[in-house]
Structure 1
Amino acid sequence: MSTKPFKVQAVARLLATTTDTVRRMVDESGIEVTRQETGPRTRLFSVENIFELARYRANRRGRNTKKKQVVATVYAPKDGVGKTTLASNFGTIFALKGLRTLIIDLDLKASLTLSFGYDSELTCEEAIEAGISQTRIVEYHFGNLIPDYPAGRVTLEEAVKRPYGECGPHIVPADLNLDRLDTMLTYETIEGRNAEHILANLLKEGLAKKDRHFDVSDYDVILFDAAPGKNRITSGALFASDYVVSPVSMEKFSTKALSYLSNVLSEMHDQFERSPELITIGNFFDPNRVRVLGQLITTARTYGGSWLDASIRRSEDFAKELTDESNLPLILSKPNSQAAAELRQSADALLKRMGLVG
């Protein structure tokens, strides 16, 4: 996917290192980086180059050895709290850390899919007519990876998208047809089977390299972006996850939504004797608003054990990201912004909570 090239200063910011270290890694790794054709022979990094350097650094540090694998779901009971924005940016930051990251869009609206440049509404004919690459068409979704899926099963390799190359985050897109999976899981429930186990068994077999259609054994992080509310797909993702990451809007009253989620997890644990660990993160934080501070105090007091020690302030950059045609998450489109800095800080805290960094 073609994007505007990055200069070494931006690459250093994205990789949380120095420009000298970036130049040294390029020389050591042999990664091919183009140079400006006129004027100073400045290196111009593609987005793929950045993720290649991130993977090279991780491998050099020994992250290619056996490590912990984590499955997490980004979920909020109601819409409008920044769930998909956090999922796309966190997944991208994880890959910038050199972690092999798979992001699975489970929301029929496919906002996350679109944020990475794939239009779920685009047909082959429309792409040809508009001169758009066929790679931007969504052919398969997560439902197509489920055993006995009515529309037919494909392999992960056929379904996955790689917007920034092999070393960047991998995406399983979504479209409206994902609703068929929810229908399938509903029938399973009606017939007296635990539909939640279907997704959990899929992940278990895939992580153990026992399912050739869904081999996810090489990934460090599998991140679901679940739809708001609660459907069968979301319930299955939650049951299959080690963690549920729930953004809490600090400019709205979110205590009822959090109480609902807490009850959902408690009921899941009572029924199946397992549930994901809850991690809550404050979003749209404005320390100058009295009500926001009251919301923060109340939430932290009630859900202190789950509260992530990092918050993200409201920023116009997030609103601009939704209308940006660069097909880049904010962390890549505005790496020097305050919003990007807070996203990195929150992602670091999240990785530490999930035990993926020391």
Structure 2
Amino acid sequence: MFSVENIFELARYRANRRGKPKKKQQVVATVYAPKAGVGKTTLASNYGTLFALKGLHTLIVDLDPRAKLTQSFGYDPELTPDEAASAGISHSRSVEYHFGNLVPNYANERVTLQEVIKKPYGEYGPHLIPADLNLDRLDTILMYDALKERNADFVIGNLLKDGLAKKDSLFAVSDYDIILFDAPPTKNRITSSALLASDYLISPVSMENYSTKALSYLSSVLTEMQNRFERTPELITVCNFFDPNRVRVMGQLMTSAQTLGDSWLDASIRRSEDFAKGPTGESDLPLVLFKPNSQAVTELRESVDALLLRMGLDGPT
């Protein structure tokens, strides 16, 4: 009876009837983990989708040149518009622009936000700034600027500041309730700039691939940022991929909760085969849309509720 687009439209309608969230200013968050294979991109795609299902105007930004997040929404970063046309595929499924095309002085051809964003589930679903391999060029330029002692670390922060203040007509983001960056696991210049621009750092901690070194490295990243810039995003750690039937894993869970203290999100996500299964059909879907009644999605929803509460976007006035 309803299309996916209708579901998001209904979610926005219901949210508008309830009233605006308590927090009036926009929230900027980055999903980052220094270790691959911890479910970072899976969480980013599902969190962004659930934010929109909560009625929040959501912008998701893929900052990883591998473009796994972009693919999770059904776009092909390797497909050119000409190849799409010759294969009979909709031009909209290809990726022509990425975040780098929005950054002043770094893009050969700076375009508007509306030319870059993808809307996989219509106007009221999450909006996506996709990525492809060419995004790596932005990191190279930022590194060169850093060597020349230019202020490369604040590129994303300055772009957001002007966009949110409506000073940059090409980067009109003032209407979004939340902007969510998905950063690559390597701490490159793009990642550093995104972290400095963020209010919150959402970092998944996998109980399946638990790494004390990864947690120690994450701590050192934030400490270094505080020492250099006197600013760090608020850390929110999310327990992911844990099996309550394994004694060792439960021990790691308890230790992590005690070690990470206030940053620990009190809503964990258990290990599930659903995360490993790709959806069938012509295009991919986040798990919350592909299998909405699964236990994994129930826990994702609880995680999002706790996350929004922590970020001050938990309900109407």
Q: CA separation in 2, counterparts of 1:107 and 1:283?
A: 21
Normalising by structure 1, what TM-score? 0.85
**1:274 aligned to which of 203, 224, 231:** 231
User: What are the superposed Cα offsets for residues 142-177 of structure 1, whole Å, 9 maximum, x if unpaired?
Assistant: 000000124221110110000000000000000000
Post-superposition offset of 1:136: 0.7
2:270 matched to 1:313?
Answer: yes
Q: CA separation in 2, counterparts of 1:62 and 1:323?
A: 37
Structure 1 residues 81 and 325 mapped into 2: Cα distance closer, same or farther (>3 Å)? farther
Residue 314 (structure 2) aligns with: 357
2:30 matched to 1:73?
Answer: yes
Say how many residue pairs are matched: 315
Structure 1 residues 65 and 75 mapped into 2: Cα distance closer, same or farther (>3 Å)? closer
Residue 170 (structure 1) aligns with: 127
Q: CA separation in 2, counterparts of 1:323 and 1:216?
A: 33
Post-superposition offset of 1:125: 2.6
Q: Residues 115-126 of structure 1 correspond to what in structure 2 (within 5 A)?
A: 115-126=72-83
Moved over 3 A (4+): 322-326
User: What are the superposed Cα offsets for residues 196-243 of structure 1, whole Å, 9 maximum, x if unpaired?
Assistant: 111111111111111111111000000000000210000000000000
User: What are the superposed Cα offsets for residues 14-72 of structure 1, whole Å, 9 maximum, x if unpaired?
Assistant: xxxxxxxxxxxxxxxxxxxxxxxxxxxxxx10000000001111111122898231000
Post-superposition offset of 1:123: 1.5
Normalising by structure 2, what TM-score? 0.96
Post-superposition offset of 1:262: 1.2
Instruction: Indicate if the aligned counterparts of 1:68 and 1:356 stay in contact, CA closer than 8 A.
Output: no
In structure 2, the gaps of 5 or more residues are none
Residue 217 (structure 1) aligns with: 174
Secondary structure of 1:197's partner?
helix
Residue 206 (structure 2) aligns with: 249
**2:258 aligned to which of 274, 298, 301:** 301
Higher normalized contact order (CA 8 Å, seq sep 6+, divided by chain length): 2
RMSD, matched Cα: 1.4
Residue 82 (structure 1) aligns with: 39
Residue 88 (structure 2) aligns with: 131
2:25 matched to 1:93?
Answer: no
Residue 25 (structure 1) aligns with: none
Residue 144 (structure 2) aligns with: 187
Structure 1 residues 105 and 49 mapped into 2: Cα distance closer, same or farther (>3 Å)? same
Residue 14 (structure 1) aligns with: none
Q: CA separation in 1, counterparts of 2:216 and 2:238?
A: 15
Residue identity opposite 1:227 in structure 2: P
Secondary structure of 1:299's partner?
helix
Q: CA separation in 2, counterparts of 1:131 and 1:344?
A: 37
Secondary structure of 2:131's partner?
coil
Q: CA separation in 1, counterparts of 2:63 and 2:279?
A: 19
In structure 1, the gaps of 5 or more residues are 1-43
Residue identity (%):
73
* Greater C-alpha radius of gyration: 1
